[in-house]
Amino acid sequence: MSGTGFDYAITRTLDAPVGKVWDAWTNADNYGKWASAEDVALDVRPGGAWSSVMVIPGGARVPLTGAYTEVVPNERLVMGMDVPGRDEPVLMTLALAADGDRTKVTLSQTFDSAEERDQSEQGSNMLLDGLTAFLGAA
């Protein structure tokens, strides 16, 4: 995709070392705890599939599937998500950078419309809120 789309990047610094943040994203049990997800399966390698059922406020269950396109342990995770009606998956990039005992996390995506971008940015902020709470309680 060219750079003409609608994109966002959210950066937060979390009070946890990189290894712990990486494990939260790549360990199915941990991911389910903070991402409001059930039935989580993560095959974290390039080409590996992932799936989960997201439980959204109000109790609705949304099945999600996709595959990893890039995996650099403790640094970068690029995940594709299958979207009904689209030929290509929507990619989300997670970048991690150590900052002492803390970790700088950046989530980014590019979309065809501002509406899609705004919706996903809101969802990514909710994910990071859940991750922040999980790491703070761990």
pLDDT per position as a tens digit, 42-93: 999 999 999 999 888 888 998 999 999 999 999 999 999 998 888 889 999 9
CB within 8 A of 45, min separation 6: which ones?
68, 71
Please say if the pLDDT value at position 2 is more than 50: no
Q: Which domains does the chain have, with CATH numbers?
A: 6-137 (3.30.530.20)
Residue 129 has pLDDT above 50, yes or no: yes
- Rounded Cα distance between 23 and 96, Å, is 12
Give Cα separations from 28 to 37, 47, 55 (angstroms).
10, 17, 15
Could you tell me which residues come within 8 angstroms of residue 21 by beta carbon, excluding any fewer than 6 positions away? 14, 96, 103, 105, 131, 135
* Phi and psi torsions of 115, nearest 5°: -60, -45
Average pLDDT, the chain: 92
Report the percent of the chain where pLDDT is more than 70. Answer: 96
